[in-house]
Structure 1
């Protein structure tokens, strides 16, 4: 089976799935990388839904509306351990592109053409499309090609440095296509060695050196077609090369605490002008995932999810009628779940769990 991106039928979500996996997979590293100090929290969330397995870190907080300083918080798991953030990084890409619109560097009508070099895996926007159209696809459909086109338009190095400046524990260095090409063992010309050794050496580099290698990985990935990368990543996940350390080396990562704090800032559109702020908030207000009939009263619930093989990430910013602001990041990797249907089936239960804990946080 191939790797697929698809819109989840019951919710507006986009999930990276791999069906038909039967082989056993190595566990997550015993000592995962950490970043920053482990934060203290005021509250502990309720017990996770029984369907959830693997490593989970969850951080939610109420933020001061003016300063976005944390007022009170709750947390579960190792909140300073680095974990994959999956497709939620596309919110950062879209916001960065809209900031370039504000500066005049880009326009909502700027055109981008999908080529064999820029096409990523699975469904993609053919032909020539506007920035506004690609932003919508990147958020609502989690389109990989759309996200990559916008990331390159912003500049992969510019985006990586900007995110590091705003959130030192958050790393977005590679395009989606470059990530999968690296995991799929297509980037040997850059990594110089076997996949695991190359991944570990890359992950251990200081930021600027790692960014220089990432730039080469991004360029090299464009020499492969989307279907070639799809076949390679399919073989990686199903075959003997799979190792969670490789995932952590190449995927976009953060900690639950750092990513909730970043979500609070980005999903509000705080650094955008009024017109582009409306664009971002309108898209995220339609993003996945929130309760179908929320108990928590909200005037705005901007959300973006990412899910995949053994992986589920949920992020959001909630604004209440009284002007209170909450944000959260749920990071789950190393799940025992292998089948796509089973991973998708977890989303409603986890979303309901997140809302219940936000209600507790709001009552304190």
Structure 2
């Protein structure tokens, strides 16, 4: 497969480690045909909220299997509520799936993640994409990173995170289960308050994100999204739900220059982190996917990082247009 470095410079203001991979895929088999990259696309980096489409797609597979229904209700409690805005009361699977993508709602994602089974999802993702690690709910990694689970992470959180990150998969999976259980004894507002203190205090360690968060590489995650976001593993009804939800996700160009029939997209952001992934079907029947991973940025505020989304998305579209010309 031809693969070449992109010749396009990154937008002004982007700092830190950036790795990017975009490829064209054979529409039926979803095998890569050609690709462009920036940096080191096989380096492991934190995904931030990019893992949420996997949670939604697997929940919809359980709908197909009869284990869940689109109208199955889930109730937000103090134990399962994560940080930031959350869906109060009881909400259906379909409502939570849309919130997890459109609003990047952490609680909505966690409710579906817990219902599917974190260990089950972790093992399936590892089988589908060995370079991708999805072990923790959002509340679990944030509570661990904020230093709120010393019994599991050790009192020195950064050192505990390095030990966790270095564990073999099965041992790490056991630790992840302990972190998830312990995080449910903390409230969402408590986790959020402690995170603010952690990120602005002396305990912050830049390597904690890659040790604690769900991770992948730009190349591996692009390939995984090319197999996930078309919805080919779902039945027609749930496939339509997935594609409708993902077509409302952040972020894509407001007025795409590419003539597309479907653009699934998801973004993630955090302390010095901006991540973007997507899958695109063009009007002439071609299929593309991409992943952009940026960590270690000197821009530390999440809202400031999000201001980079529009120029970076435009840069990604330029890369996809370049790939499209290469036929």
What's the TM-score, normalizing by structure 1? 0.88
* Residue number among 106, 112, 129 corresponding to 2:74 in the alignment: 112
Matched, 1:218 2:185: no
Write the deviation string for residues 313-349 of structure 1: whole angstroms up to 9, x where unpaired.
Answer: 1111000112110000000111111344532221111
Contact 2:147 2:155 in 1 (8 A): no
Tell me, in whole angstroms, the C-alpha distance in 2 between the residues paired with 1:340 and 1:145.
Answer: 18
Q: How does 1:275-294 map to 2 (within 5 A)?
A: 275-294=237-256
Tell me, in whole angstroms, the C-alpha distance in 1 between the residues paired with 2:303 and 2:119.
Answer: 36
What's 1:228 paired with?
190
Alpha-carbon distance, 1:248 to partner: 1.0
Matched, 1:179 2:179: no
What's the TM-score, normalizing by structure 2? 0.97
Contact 1:184 1:229 in 2 (8 A): yes
What's 1:122 paired with?
84
Contact 1:59 1:260 in 2 (8 A): yes
Contact 2:269 2:302 in 1 (8 A): no
What's 1:156 paired with?
118
Write the deviation string for residues 21-47 of structure 1: whole angstroms up to 9, x where unpaired.
Answer: xxxxxxxxxxxxxxxxxx972342411
Contact 2:265 2:276 in 1 (8 A): yes
Alpha-carbon distance, 1:71 to partner: 0.4
Alpha-carbon distance, 1:307 to partner: 1.3
Tell me, in whole angstroms, the C-alpha distance in 2 between the residues paired with 1:40 and 1:243.
Answer: 38
Q: How does 1:127-276 map to 2 (within 5 A)?
A: 127-276=89-238
Contact 1:124 1:145 in 2 (8 A): yes
Matched, 1:77 2:55: no
What's 2:296 paired with?
334
Q: Which runs of 5+ in 2 are unaligned?
A: none
Matched, 1:347 2:309: yes
Q: Which runs of 5+ in 1 are unaligned?
A: 1-38
Q: How does 1:351-362 map to 2 (within 5 A)?
A: 351-362=313-324
Tell me, in whole angstroms, the C-alpha distance in 1 between the residues paired with 2:23 and 2:211.
Answer: 28
Alpha-carbon distance, 1:67 to partner: 1.5
Write the deviation string for residues 78-116 of structure 1: whole angstroms up to 9, x where unpaired.
Answer: 111111111111111000100111111111111111111
Tell me, in whole angstroms, the C-alpha distance in 2 between the residues paired with 1:354 and 1:198.
Answer: 36
Q: What is the aligned residue count?
A: 326
SS in 2 for 1:260: helix
SS in 2 for 1:42: strand
Matched, 1:103 2:65: yes
CA-atom RMSD, angstroms?
Answer: 1.2
SS in 1 for 2:13: coil
SS in 1 for 2:120: helix
Contact 1:45 1:74 in 2 (8 A): no
Contact 1:297 1:320 in 2 (8 A): yes
Write the deviation string for residues 276-320 of structure 1: whole angstroms up to 9, x where unpaired.
Answer: 000010011111111111111101001111112211111110001
